[in-house]
Amino acid sequence: NAGVTQTPKFQVLKTGQSMTLQCAQDMNHEYMSWYRQDPGMGLRLIHYSVGAGITDQGEVPNGYNVSRSTTEDFPLRLLSAAPSQTSVYFCASSYHGSSPLHFGNGTRLTVT
């Protein structure tokens, strides 16, 4: 199993550009989520999904959209990037509640 795969690893955007951060898992996990991590801070939940077709907002959802059309994929969309979205983004997945989260290696995004 590849686990949780995030692409790209690094990305630089200009303010106002859009992009999609990709997250895929091959473990048939129902639960997937996106976090952002800013320097010196912990992980903050952006959006999560408990199964295909179901998504919900986390702590900091503004400026981000998600969809879950398949069990394997959970892309995170930035419709109009802002410098405040400069961060490291982590995707995570797990089986049903009360199972350990598996994290990807992160996408480092810089918005200028």
Partner 1 sequence: DAKTTQPPSMDCAEGRAANLPCNHSTISGNEYVYWYRQIHSQGPQYIIHGLKNNETNEMASLIITEDRKSSTLILPHATLRDTAVYYCIVRVAVGSNFGNEKLTFGTGTRLTIIP
3-state SS track over 46-66: EEEEEECCEEEECCCCCCEEE
Per-position x/- string for 24-63, each x denoting binding to partner 1 as judged by CB under 8 A, each - no binding: ------xx-x-x----xxxxxx--x-xx----x-xx----
Q: Number of residues interacting with partner 1: please give it, by CB under 8 A.
A: 31
Query: Cβ closer to partner 1: 17 or 75?
Result: 75
Q: How many residues does the chain have?
A: 112
What lies within 8 Å, CB to CB, of 60 at 6+ separation is: 36, 44, 45, 46
Positions that interact with partner 1 (CB under 8 A): 4, 30-31, 33, 35, 40-45, 48, 50-51, 56, 58-59, 88, 90, 92, 96-98, 100-106, 108
